[in-house]
Structure formats: C-alpha cells, structure tokens
Structure 1
Amino acid sequence: MSTAIAIATPKEVANPLIQEISLDRIKPSKANPRRRLDEAALRELAENIKTHGVLQSILIRPVNSNGYEIVCGERRWKASKAAGKETIPVRIVNLTDGEALELAVIENLQRENVHELDEALGYKALIKQNPELYTVENIALKVGRSVSYVYQRLRLAELTPNVQAAFYAGKLTAGHAVEIARLQPRDQERAFEECFPGHRTPKAVLRDKDPRPVSVRELRDWIQREIHLTLANAPFDANDPNLSPAAGPCSTCPKRSGSNPLLFADSIKRADICTDRECFQQKRDALVQIRIKEIETAGEKPVKVSDSFIYYGQKPAPGVLYRPDFNEATAGDCPTTVPAVVVEGRRAGTKLYVCTNPKCKTHSARSVGLSPEEKEARKKQAQELRIQQEFRKRLLAEVQNRVPNELGRHELDLIASSYFQQLGHDSQHRLFKFFGWDEAKTKAVNSGYTDYPKLTAAKLDKMTTAEIGKFLMACALASELCFPTYYGSASSKDTKLTREAAHYKVNCDRVLREVREKIAPKPPKAKSDSTLQATAKPNRKGKTK
C-alpha cells in the first residue's frame, strides 16, 4: 500500500537500538486487529527465517519487569518459533494502549494482503479504545482514506458470525460482504443463504471448497426486491416519533437511505428507502392497533382483514379474514356489515366496513357458469393432465430404479448441469409428493412455506450412499414432473426425462399405455329392461312411457 499514513509518535523510546531478546519473554497482543493467519504463508516464512534469519526487527513494548508485548510483527515472532529460533531482533518502545493499538492497525494497513475484515475490526477497536479521539473523520485522516470508505469498512465489523467466517474463508468476495453488511442481522442471514441457493445450511457452504456464490449484482437485486421498502408507500406517517419510540421517526433514522449517505449513497439512489423490514412492520402493526382501539372506543368490535389472497402453502394469520371471505361495504348496507381494519399491505391501518356473509344477496359476487362445451373441454384436459402426471411419475421411478449404485460420469454430469439451474420451491414440493414424504409444518423464513430443505436434511442423514445417488438423480429430473396445465398444451416426446428413460432402456410407450389403461374412465353399466320400466315415469293416463 503506497498511501502515506500518519502514525502516532511514541512518547519515549526505551531502547532505540535493535537487540536480540528471547522469544519466551515476548507475548502477542490480545488487541491485535489481524484475525486471519495464512498457515501456508507462515510455514514459508519460517523456512525463509531458517535460511536468512529475521531481516526486519519487530516492535515491542514493556508490560512488566521482565516481559514484553508485540506491537508489530506477530507473524515474524510465530515464524521464528516455528523455525526453532530462540531469540528475535526487536526494537523496544514505550507506548500507551491506545498508541500501541493505533500503530498495530496502521502497520497492518501498510501490508498489501490485509483482509478487509481485519481492517474493519482494527478501526472498530480504535473507536472502542477512545471514541472521542478516534472518530470516523480522524481515522480517515490518519489512514489517508475517505470518510465514506472508513464508514463502509466499519460496517463489515457488524457482519454476523456465519458471514464473517465465509468472508474469511474466501467463499464471499468483498463486494458481497459490503452489500450484506448494510443489512440488519436477521436479513444478513437471509442474504447469505441467497448467495448460495444450492446449499441447505451455512455449515454446508463452509464445508464446500468451491461453493460459487451468485454475482454481486444478483445479490443487490435480491436485496432491493426482498428487503428494501419504500417509505412513500408506507401506510403510516414516516415522521411520527410515537409509533415506535425506540426507533423514532423514519426521517432521521440511520437505516433510512437518505439519512445515511456515507453507507448507502453508492448503492441506493432514492432517499426514502427503509432497510429494516422488522422496524417497518412494527410501526405498521402499531398503527393497526391504534385504529382498532379507536373503533373499540366507539363501542364497536372490529374484524381484521387483509387485502391479499391466501397463496399456496401460506399459513393464514390467526383472526384475519382474507379475500374472498369478505366484501367491502358501506355502513348499514346489510345486517352483516361490520367495521374492520386492514392489517396487511399498503392499506394497513385503513378503517372500512365489510360484509362477511358469503350468501349475502347485496354483496355476494355473481358467478358465471361454464357452457357444456367448456365443461367437456375442461374434463378432457383434466383427464390428459392426470395421464401425463402419472406417466411422468412412472417414468421417473423406472429411471431411478436403473441408476447404478456407483455413479458414473453420465449421472454426475446430469446432476451438475441440473443443479446449476437451481431447484425451486415447486420442484421441492413435487419431489416430496414423488417420494411420499410427510410434509410436516415447519416455521420457515419465507412466511409459511414448508421448509423442504430442513425436512430433506433429516431424510438424507438416514440414506445410504446408493440411496443418496438415486435421490440426486431424482432431483436433477424434478422439474420434469411438472406438466403444463394451460389449455391446448401438448406433451413432448423429446424431454430430459424421456431422454434419460431411453438411456436406461425404459419403454416409454409401455409406461404411457399402462397409465392410460389405469386412469381411463369406466364405461357406464347398461340398464336392464326391468330397471328401465321401474324408473319410467307414468303419463297422465297412468300408463308408463
């Protein structure tokens, strides 16, 4: 690093001359900002010291009558011990704790291979040592960097342990770490998992030698889509300091993009972006409670409603009505009209009236029936859908049974290419149905979805190597279990599943024929003459037709 750096001048040099001191009289500093140590580089340095000795003395300070603490040069000290040396060249200086820490941080920054997280922890240690002296502005001046640079480096020190471990291990780049560091701890873990969609747990990421994260651009897009919230769309008053007294108004919150340009200026263009979803939801819920109390004070009992529909796999909130279980109304429209408060969405906190009677003649929606032709077309489509679904299940089952116990190049290539495209939630669901596994309800991060990766982990622990190989093969073909349901879709004979079936010499025509025979509708039974006469209606003269 060629940047000129100003460092604190020692008050007094105890011994300006370089001298040899026993390694046993020296101990490393607990405040050393450098956490990561490359063992291979340390062994290489030890070999160099065996041959050439220590070419640059280390800097130490006295801590007691017969002991010293390292200020700069801990790697050389450790390498000297590994090389079997008994002494090391040193220069002794008298430094306070603050001066020693500052000198250690600056010395680390002058090295080309300093890790960004070590740099961040060094800045954080300086501020903790003396907050009044070591402000962000003063540190930026000392290290010859911009205030924004130092502030963003400091955010790296707030990364969660899992993210720090992955960053140190080289699983994440500095670009990934900077984007994640801007988030709250819970969202950091979500973003970390999003970086490695093919891994079930953080431990799996750390075990993988080459986990291949998504690009920084993809991560930033996901954060903007899933984490960031626009305060202009907030249902509450962003300037209200009483909704959440601990957080205060959004206009001065440091987690709002416009209030903290040093952290967000280069990544968020708008000034009204909230980066703390949990705080946002707390304020929204506080507004809802205020509206509910207003209605209760007026002597009425409101119901809670949501503007959204229940999507697949979602667990509805207790005591909340979702569409279409209610219709908006005007007070007094019908006997079942009651006051309500919207608890979710952009209209959260809105007071309105709703009708909860599905058979209400005033508010129930009018339904339009299907014509006989449309019903017949739907029936044929449903029949073909069942055939194709059963056909694909059977085909996958036969392919799975023919997978060898020892996976070959063909299987591994298929797995690698398929997993590159990543499994989605729907494919995971279809696999559970295919294997007949129980979909136990679990509390998942994504609001009510079944946590398939967590359930699958328990299944994999009980599998043999051969079973895991077959499971992976099924995963690679999971997307083929889906058959398009839109009208007019036709089955294709040239699919990945059929190609694999051909590879394993599975007779697709036979499987399809057996499925059609199994699902084919049974012809109606012919009625006998006696039955026809018994059910015939008499005419006006009393004779049967």
Structure 2
Amino acid sequence: MAKATKKQALGRGLSALLKDPEKDITSASDKNADKVVGNIIELEIDAIEVNPFQPRTTFNEEALQELATSIRELGIIQPITVRKTGVNQFQLISGERRFRASKLVGLKTVPAYVRLANDQESLEMALVENIQRHDLDPIEVALSYQRLIEEIKLTQGQLSERVGKKRSTIANYLRLLKLDPMIQTGMKDGFLSMGHGRALVNIDDLSDQLDIYEQILTKKLSVRATEKLVQDYKNSGSTSPQEKETLEIPKHIKTGKKDFSDYFGAKIDIKIGKKGNGKITIPFSSEEDFNRIKKLINSEK
C-alpha cells in the first residue's frame, strides 16, 4: 500500500512540474524530460484534448456506460497515453474509451503516460495502437491501414512489419474500401461480416454489389451462400436467379451518363426501368470525396 501511495504522490509531483511554464518540457533533451516520459502521471481531464487522428469515429454508448461503472468501482487499471502539446496541455494518443468513460464518471484527473511526439508520430501511434484492438470493425481497420500507407508513406511491406500482419491480410482489408459506401456502412453496423465483404468486392459494378447486398440482408445469406451467388453472377452477369431482361438504353441517357461522369469526376451508374424510370448512382471513395461532390451539387443551386 505504501509503495502505491508513493507512486501516486510521484505522479502528482510530476503533474505540478508540467504546469510550470519556466520548466516547460518540449523535447527529450530538456531538463527533467526523463522524469516525465515513460512515467505514469496524474493529469487533469480538462487539460487533455481528443486526438483528431483517432481512426475510430463511433463509440457504443452501452459499452461506455459499462466501462464507466467499472472505473467507478475499480478505477482506471490501464493508463491512457497522451502527447504533450504545451504547458499543461495534452492530446490523446490512445485510450479514448477510458478517457470518455472517466468523464462520464466525473473524474477530475486520470493516470496517463506522457510522450513527446510530433503530429506524424502521434498519428502513426494512434493508428497502430487501434489496429491491434479486437473490437474495431473491418472498415475501421481498412481505413487505418489506408491512412498509414497514404499519410505516413508506408509500403504494404513496411506496414506488414509495423503491425505484425501478413501482406495478404492487409491487402484483403484494403480491398473492402472498393465496396459501395452503403455496404461499408452495413459492415460497420454489423449487418455483414468481413467474409461477406470479401465476396462482394469481386463485383466491380456498385449497383450490382447493392443488389446482392439486399439479397444477403433479406434472405440472411451465409458467407458461403454469398460466395456462390457472386460466382453465379460472374458466370451469368445477373444478380438474380433469373436472367435480367435486357433494356435498350436511349441515346440521350448514354450521352447524359458520360456528361455526369465527366462533371462529377466519378463513374456514374444509371439503371433504367421498364417504364422509362430509373436511378442515378454517384459513388464516392471517402468523406473528402463526398464533400467534393456535395459542393458541386450545391454550386448548381
């Protein structure tokens, strides 16, 4: 008990040190840096901001409440990790669930490991840390891999070494990002497994992906049944058991389709019904791409 009390007192002492602007620690070479980096320090919750590089965007409220109850009863067992951004200012690197749950409980301070890291190092640490978690959905993992490749400039080989995964595993996750955004949302919400997604990604046409996606949901198809349906589609060119009736696409629609594609900078898909009605699908590859398309549409108002 005395040992624990001494360690906690040391944490409070270091916390006071970090508030002193005349002794501000900004790099590993600064005086007292060795007392801060790698030690558990009690930090004020209000001095910590959420990491903007956090790959996880949604948190299960019920699970957060359960974690909050555990923290209320037992305290925070595993400290969060933060990086120092200024005098008594910190940013989360990992542990956002613990941080959010602690705020729900009403804690004023939390135990934390303090690191000195620039934005790129912070991003890499946050992404790698989150990839190792078991409760991320496949799309969150895929987006984390993509960000490590694009923003940290890692090759798939380097990424494989960094996260301890086979290159083929990483490639399979990245392929999921070729799925229609609606299907990606379905995977994030738990309606589809990664196995379903891996089968669907073999279909290039996004509208046909959606047709099969609807069949998976309505018929509650297993992964094996989905793989067979996809194989049947690739053999027959149809997403239904019966061959789709071929409809002649009017010339003005063919021309309009090209104009749409050129304007939006995306491969527009147009489906024509028997009565001349139809549907226009505009795909997007990311939040930035979605906002780009929305801006183009709004500019025409």
Q: Does TM, scored on the shorter chain, surpass 0.5?
A: yes
Tell me, what secondary structure is at the counterpart of 1:20? strand
Amino acid of the residue matched to residue 109 of structure 2? T
Q: Contact conserved, 1:160 with 1:188, CA < 8 A, in 2?
A: yes
Corresponding position: 1:75 with 2:7: no
Aligned equivalents of 2:279, 2:105: Cα separation in 1: 52
1:82 shift after superposition: 0.5
Aligned equivalents of 2:82, 2:182: Cα separation in 1: 34
Q: How many residues get paired?
A: 221
Aligned equivalents of 1:317, 1:183: Cα separation in 2: 22
Aligned equivalents of 2:68, 2:250: Cα separation in 1: 65
Identity of aligned residues (%): 29
Aligned equivalents of 1:137, 1:160: Cα separation in 2: 27
The alpha-carbon distance between structure 1 residues 318 and 177, as it changes in their structure 2 partners (threshold 3 A), is closer
Corresponding position: 1:221 with 2:228: yes
Amino acid of the residue matched to residue 178 of structure 1? R
Q: Contact conserved, 1:36 with 1:118, CA < 8 A, in 2?
A: no
The alpha-carbon distance between structure 1 residues 91 and 186, as it changes in their structure 2 partners (threshold 3 A), is same
Partner residue, 1:123: 145
RMSD, aligned CA = 2.9
Tell me, what secondary structure is at the counterpart of 2:91? strand
The alpha-carbon distance between structure 1 residues 65 and 225, as it changes in their structure 2 partners (threshold 3 A), is same
Alignment of 1:38-437 (within 5 A): 38-131=60-153, 134-184=154-204, 185-196=206-217, 198=218, 213-227=220-234, 314-317=246-249
The alpha-carbon distance between structure 1 residues 98 and 228, as it changes in their structure 2 partners (threshold 3 A), is farther
After superposition, the C-alpha distances for 1:316-366 in whole angstroms (9 at most, x for unaligned) are 4569xxxxxxxxxxxxxxxxxxxxxxxxxxxxxxxxxxxxxxxxxxxxxxx
1:225 shift after superposition: 2.7
The alpha-carbon distance between structure 1 residues 181 and 29, as it changes in their structure 2 partners (threshold 3 A), is farther
After superposition, the C-alpha distances for 1:205-257 in whole angstroms (9 at most, x for unaligned) are xxxxxxx6312222222222324689xxxxxxxxxxxxxxxxxxxxxxxxxxx
Tell me, what secondary structure is at the counterpart of 1:194? helix
Amino acid of the residue matched to residue 162 of structure 2? K
Tell me, what secondary structure is at the counterpart of 1:114? coil
Amino acid of the residue matched to residue 167 of structure 1? M
Partner residue, 1:283: none
The alpha-carbon distance between structure 1 residues 67 and 225, as it changes in their structure 2 partners (threshold 3 A), is same
The alpha-carbon distance between structure 1 residues 224 and 73, as it changes in their structure 2 partners (threshold 3 A), is same
Tell me, what secondary structure is at the counterpart of 2:52? coil
Partner residue, 2:278: 443
The alpha-carbon distance between structure 1 residues 215 and 26, as it changes in their structure 2 partners (threshold 3 A), is same
Tell me, what secondary structure is at the counterpart of 1:171? coil
Amino acid of the residue matched to residue 128 of structure 1? E
Q: Contact conserved, 1:124 with 1:157, CA < 8 A, in 2?
A: no
Tell me, what secondary structure is at the counterpart of 1:71? strand
Tell me, what secondary structure is at the counterpart of 1:55? coil
1:169 shift after superposition: 1.6
Aligned equivalents of 1:51, 1:115: Cα separation in 2: 29
The alpha-carbon distance between structure 1 residues 54 and 64, as it changes in their structure 2 partners (threshold 3 A), is same
Aligned equivalents of 2:186, 2:101: Cα separation in 1: 26
Alignment of 1:5-44 (within 5 A): 12=28, 14-44=36-66
The alpha-carbon distance between structure 1 residues 97 and 159, as it changes in their structure 2 partners (threshold 3 A), is farther
Task: Tell me which protein shows more helix as a share of its residues.
Answer: 2
Q: Which moved more, 1:171-180 or 1:183-192?
A: 183-192
1:182 shift after superposition: 3.9
1:155 shift after superposition: 1.8
The alpha-carbon distance between structure 1 residues 318 and 160, as it changes in their structure 2 partners (threshold 3 A), is closer
Amino acid of the residue matched to residue 315 of structure 1? L
1:44 shift after superposition: 0.5
Aligned equivalents of 1:22, 1:162: Cα separation in 2: 40
When the two structures are superposed, what TM-score results if normalisation uses the length of structure 2?
0.65
1:91 shift after superposition: 1.4
1:71 shift after superposition: 0.3
When the two structures are superposed, what TM-score results if normalisation uses the length of structure 1?
0.37
Aligned equivalents of 1:65, 1:186: Cα separation in 2: 53
Aligned equivalents of 2:124, 2:150: Cα separation in 1: 12
The alpha-carbon distance between structure 1 residues 87 and 228, as it changes in their structure 2 partners (threshold 3 A), is farther
The alpha-carbon distance between structure 1 residues 42 and 151, as it changes in their structure 2 partners (threshold 3 A), is same
Q: Contact conserved, 2:45 with 2:109, CA < 8 A, in 1?
A: yes
1:34 shift after superposition: 2.0
Q: Contact conserved, 2:137 with 2:187, CA < 8 A, in 1?
A: no
